[in-house]
A and B are shown apart, each in its own frame.
Chain A
Amino acid sequence: MALEDFAAEMDRCSQCSYCKWIPFDHIKSWRYAKNCPSVSYNNFNSYSARGRYAVARSLLKGQSGYSDKVRDIVYKCMTCGSCDVSCKVCRFNLEPLDMVRELKFKLVEEGHVLDEHQTIVESLDKEHNTMLQPKTGRGEWAEGLDVPRLFSKEAEIVFHAGCRFSYDRDLWNSVRSAVTILKNAGMDVGIMGEREMCCGGRIYSMGYRNEFVRFAESNIKAWAKAGVRMVVTSCADGYHAFKRLYPRLGFQVQVMHVVELLNHLINEGRLVLRSEIPMSVTYHDPCHLGRQGEPYVPWDGVEKKIKSQIIVYEPKRPRYNGAWGIYDQPREILKKIPGLQLLEMERAREYSWCCGAGGGVREAYPEFSMWTAAERIAEAKATGAEALVTACSWCERNFMDAIIAQRDAMKVYDIVELVQEAI
């Protein structure tokens, strides 16, 4: 795809501004009605999906150039996809999230990049992670765990820790717990250790499509060499990359997020949650696990019209609108933990508010990123919950940082930590 391929959508966007709000049916208050951090923080229309369609058209038609403002508009999008969900309440022939991604690709291809992103990409090239850390340290999180390292040993399942979990020591407990739980449940699981590479999802959302493809192909090749039959990850970004993006490159191995697998093990009785955790929690749906966590459906078709002017696709085009993301499994797990009370935030599931860490925003615009996280924390606190639980390392880190900055006392957990505690 190229930005030019979205020219029709740029005209067909009805400029209705649904992209600025959660689906209206779900609005429960004035306070938590908005969905798009970008336009909520920056206010100008240009920072919404409808505005970005207009900006893209303006660029394509040569009516405006690549100013600093344009870079600001384009890169201050977390590609969280909430606009996409709201748009598709009424539209079947617009793909605002794909368009915004394409706009980022265009800016990168034309060389209008951000230094903060460029630093990450350069480090990624050399060290194979987005954390600006040496690749030799990638497997340290698993030290002391009795888990086979591929390729020297074989395993049916590869557990992909992801960049953030691999290098953020505060979060190690989660991935160490995940591997331990899976092993104890009898799963044949191994890790790549220092051979593990970034999934590429983070740089994809910054606009570096070609670099993403390189990493995706390397990972696909490595897993094929290791002979794994399933990839399991605790990282929501990784899950999205493996589940939705890799199949476009021919990847066919089964992918599961750890919450799917844990829920499956609990339902099968292979994992029993016995210990009481007397705590009230609220669950934050990570964008890449929830609305962007729908499975990939191959499609190669064309637009056609029926009834003279109704736009459809031949063959029928799969519809990604967040309906079929991973929402129930984490909630089912939390409900099965004795003593734990689950309270829902006003914005949940497909219309969840983003944590603020995505799309390269955390790296390039920390103030905006922290504001976005703080908004979510305020919403979490409004439920009366004592803790905020999520299933993504990037969300967890952003929330933790925002809580520290606010000198707040709210606790943040990865769901796996609670499962481990409840076993």
Chain B
Amino acid sequence: MTMPKNIYKALEGIVGPENISDDPAVLDSYRYSLAHTAIHLGPFFDTFTPRGSAVLLPGSTEEVQAIVKLCNKYRIKFKASSTFWSAQGYPSEDNTIQLDMRRMDQILEIDEKNMFAVIEPGVIGATLQAEAMKVGLNTHIPGAGCSCSTLAGATSYFGSGPSNLYGGWHYDNLLGVEWVMPTGEILRTGSLGAGCGWFCGEGPGPSMKGVARGFIGSKGAMGVYTKCAIKLFAWPGPTTLPVEGIVPAYKTSLPDNFKAYTVAFPSWKSWADAVYTIWDTGVGYIAHRQYSMFGRDLKFAMIKILTDPTKTLGDLEEILDDPEVQKITEESKRDFQIVLAGMTKRDIEWQDKALDEILSRTGGWKVEAMNEPEINKWMLLYLIRLGHKNLNLVFGGSYDGCFGLLGSADFGTSHVEEAAEFKKRWEKRGAVVEAGGDCMMGPIGGQGGGGTCLWENFTCFDPYDRDSIEGTLEFFDACTELGLERGWGVGMEKWNSQARGPDGRIAPKEERDRIHLSAPQPDIFRYQHKIRKAFNPNDLGDAYYETLDDS
């Protein structure tokens, strides 16, 4: 259905004719393919998120507020997105207005002394990091990579990634927020609301940050966040990353106070022990089980390809035949990557020694092949900038994580082999890439530890191949079944299925209710329903803010 002319005109009056379109081709460029799984949902062959009724590019908070007020007046649904990483940023219902926030892309302030930045939605991890480094600071880049909006990760979604260890998750890092609420009112959270600046995320009374964000964020379903302040942390490196090498094998040489290692362990028990000790000792700057996303069998061969600009995926089989590669692959079966950053010479020396001691106590080792200079410098740059994140999609164009073992280090490591073996059996059926079963990727958590080891078992497939997609979906169903049977809970392959159905639209209420009622604490969703009713009385957001209305 096309938007009534008077409403279109009114919206055009807000943003200007050059910043609104209802041309079908433009609208179709704002639809997400559910063949890509849309992050833990599908995949569903040849299915797209619904076409919006218009796309708007607001340029200021005032424009956003005017749009939201107009939407309330005419009861029009709206969905804001900044960098469109997944289906959650796109409409899930027909006749929704899509707000593309890319014009609001300013870094408004970097407060060097108080270590935070004030940013608009269009600021991505890479640009914020580049600017922060100029003043000796760094930003946490969530797992989606540096192409993604920092504000979106901080206000509206998970915000977890490799630098959790030192930089903290974004639910911790979020300070003041400027929030155009679903009614069009503007709320400034924390110290900002008291006129005291951006430095604190909480203000008087119950946590508005909690309402706006909580643990996982409202995923664009509860108004629009137009500015936020985000905590930065120390960067003891150069003001600009010195990058060398030929595309795509870029690498960096940093001073001696930086070290990057791939460490591996004889058992998962020792792996977990090492992680706990790392948390206890406080060593490390970035820690992630990164390259296992390619699969236990393929990871080192892929690293060989990615660090040599003359190589392509076409060389993979030949590289895999190399006995030396096979040896290293076996050696790094239970691994993770860690970057140490010393604030002083003594600090890096101590961290290096501490890591050696941790390895010695747990029986772990440094994978020497990953210390080869060309690989090591590539790994260092990769982990600091997280600019190659879409290697997730390198094989066939699509991936999704299954299982999603979120918990302590012991939790993930206790189940990884079983989950890997299960996947390996399914890999043999041909629908997904044969990668060795264990494709568990994720951060090893934050300093202090506890409950923050999140792994997803990467599953790569071809979004243009119906058999591949249907086979993957079948596998994901089997993962869910196994996860429930084994008490691991519903895997991340289904995390969003309560919100969005296989046709790309919102799941029917009965289905959502069924899922929420089967959750350990359905009351949570009843409370959220009350919050939503209070904050979003005209119901202009989508089901990603999850509610249960069974009264």
Report A's interface with B, CB cutoff 8 A: 7-8, 11-18, 21, 23-30, 33, 43-46, 50-52, 54-55, 57-59, 63-65, 67, 69-70, 73, 85, 88-94, 305-313, 316-317, 319, 321-323, 350-351
Contact = CB atoms under 8 A, between A and B. Distances in A.
A309 B431 contact: yes
A411 to B, nearest CB: 27
B388 A91 contact: no
B393 A14 contact: yes
A312 B247 contact: no
Contact of A23 (B103, B387, B461): B387
Given A26-B250, A29-B131, A89-B248, A46 B25 contact: yes
B312 interface: yes
B208 to A, nearest CB: 29
A30 B107 contact: yes
Interface of B: 19, 21, 23-26, 28-33, 35-36, 46, 55, 57, 83-85, 100, 102-103, 107, 123-124, 126-131, 134, 145-147, 240-241, 243, 246-248, 250, 252, 298, 309, 312-317, 381, 385-391, 393-398, 427, 430-435, 460-465, 468
10 contacts: A12-B396, A25-B250, A33-B127, A70-B25, A88-B247, A90-B393, A309-B432, A309-B465, A309-B468, A311-B462
A147 B241 CA distance: 50
B84 A15 contact: yes
Contacts of A89: 247-248, 250, 387-388, 390
Contact of A73 (B25, B309, B312): B25
Contacts of A313: 314
B316 A306 contact: yes
A330 B247 CA distance: 19
Contacts, number: 222
A58 B27 CA distance: 10
A46 B29 contact: yes
Nearest to B98: A45
Contacts of A65: 24
A351 B102 CA distance: 21
Given A33-B126, A64-B23, A88-B248, 14 more contacts: A14-B398, A25-B250, A27-B130, A45-B55, A50-B29, A58-B25, A63-B28, A64-B24, A90-B388, A309-B395, A309-B461, A309-B465, A321-B248, A322-B247
Contact of B29 (A54, A307, A321): A54
A28 B433 CA distance: 36
A316 B315 contact: yes
Contacts of B431: 308-309
B329 to A, nearest CB: 14
A44 B314 contact: no
A350 B316 contact: no
Contacts of A92: 312-314, 394
Contacts of B389: 90
Contact of A69 (B26, B107, B298, B381): B26
Contacts of A29: 127, 130-131, 134
Nearest to A39: B102
Given A12-B464, A30-B130, A310 B313 contact: yes
A385 B403 CA distance: 55
Given A15-B84, A29-B127, A30-B127, A311 B23 contact: no
* From B131, B247, B313, B460, residue with most partner A Cβ within 10 Å: B247
Given A308-B433, A323-B309, A90 B248 contact: yes
A316 B312 contact: yes
B161 to A, nearest CB: 14
B103 A43 contact: yes
A54 B387 contact: no
Contacts of B23: 64, 67, 69-70
B463 A11 contact: yes
A146 to B, nearest CB: 42
